[in-house]
Amino acid sequence: MNYVYILKCSDGTLYTGYTNNLDKRISTHNKGKGAKYTRGRLPVKLIYFEEYILKGEALHREFIIKKMSRQNKLNLIKNCQQL
């Protein structure tokens, strides 16, 4: 499975990423070994994710979400309420 996810950082900012192992990736972020952006904003909390079979679909969706405004991302999260 491939995942697109949104993290809430300790400073309240949002980070969007892609992975094929969600649990491992969140753990990596929280160990300070994830994206440079999240390293100084620990701890991070998973607040949203989507599953895709194809990697290309997940990467495309990640690109779309990253272009969204903060408010649109919050609306996406609110409308889904999966976590």
What is the arithmetic mean of pLDDT over 10-34? 95
Q: Residue with structure tokens 């679909």?
A: 57
DSSP line for 32-73: T-S-HHHHTS-S-EEEEEEEESSHHHHHHHHHHHHHS-HHHH
Domain that holds residue 28: 2-80
Task: Kindly report the CATH number assigned to the domain that includes residue 73.
Answer: 3.40.1440.10
The verdict on pTM exceeding 0.85 is: yes
- CA distance linking residue 65 with residue 27, whole number of Å: 22
Number of folded domains that form the chain: 1
Determine the pLDDT at residue 80. 80
Q: How confident is the model at residue 44 (pLDDT cuts 50, 70, 90)?
A: very high
